[in-house]
Amino acid sequence: MAEIMLCEPFELYNLLNQRSCVSRLAELNYLCLIDARETQDYRISHIITAKNVKLGPEGTFLLPEAVEVDSMQRLVVYDNNTSCLQEQGRAAECAQALSKASLYPVHIVRGGFQRFSALYPFLRTEKILYTIMELENLKTYPVELIAGLLYLGDQKQGTDSSVLKDLKVSAVVSVSQDDTLESRSIKRNQTILNIPATDSVVSDLYSSLESICSFIGSHINMGSRVLIVSRQGRSRCSAVAIAFLMHHHKYTLEEAWRYLLKCKPSVRPNTGFLQQLSDWELHTTGAKVTDISDHHF
pLDDT digits (tens, 9 = 90+) for 199-222: 999 999 999 999 999 999 999 999
Query: Does residue 116 sit in the same domain as residue 28?
Result: yes
| 202 & 237 share domain | yes
Choose between 260 and 177: higher pLDDT.
260
Residues 107, 12: one domain?
Answer: yes
Residue 134 three-state SS: helix
Q: Using only C-alpha atoms, what is the Rg of the chain?
A: 21
Q: How many domains does the chain have?
A: 2
Domain annotation covers residue 74:
yes
Q: Do 103 and 153 fall within a single domain?
A: no
Which are the contacts of 249, defined by CB distance < 8 A and separation ≥ 6? 255, 256
In a domain, 290, yes or no: no
| Position 179 confidence tier, pLDDT thresholds 50, 70, 90 | low
* Positive/negative CA dihedral, 28, 34, 35, 40: positive
Sign of CA pseudo-dihedral 250, 176, 182, 142 = negative
pLDDT of residue 190: 86
Under a CB-based contact definition with an 8 Å cutoff, are residues 243 and 280 in contact?
Answer: yes
Please tell me the distance from the alpha carbon of residue 12 to that of residue 156, in angstroms, as a whole number. Answer: 22
196, 175: one domain: yes
Query: Domain check: are 272 and 149 in the same one?
Result: yes
| Domain finish residue from 84, 112, 136 | 136
With a cut of 70, say whether residue 185 has pLDDT above it: no
Q: What are the backbone dihedrals phi and psi of residue 18, each rounded to the nearest 5 degrees, phi first?
A: -85, 145
The answer to whether residues 169 and 266 belong to one domain is yes
| One domain, residues 91 and 106 | yes
Range of the domain at 114: 4-136
The answer, yes or no, to whether residue 75 has pLDDT greater than 90, is yes
Dist. CA 75–CA 61, nearest whole Å? 15
Report residue 182's pLDDT band, with 50, 70 and 90 as the boundaries: low
- Whether residue 180 is predicted with pLDDT greater than 70 in this model: the reply is no
Q: Does a structural domain hold residue 295?
A: no
Q: Which of 39-48, 174-183, 228-237 bottoms out in mean pLDDT, i.e. has the lowest?
A: 174-183
Lowest mean pLDDT among 59-73, 100-114, 225-239, 256-270: 59-73
112 plus 187 within the same structural domain = no
H/E stretch holding 249 reads: helix 236-249
Instruction: Assess whether 167 and 40 both reside in one domain.
Output: no
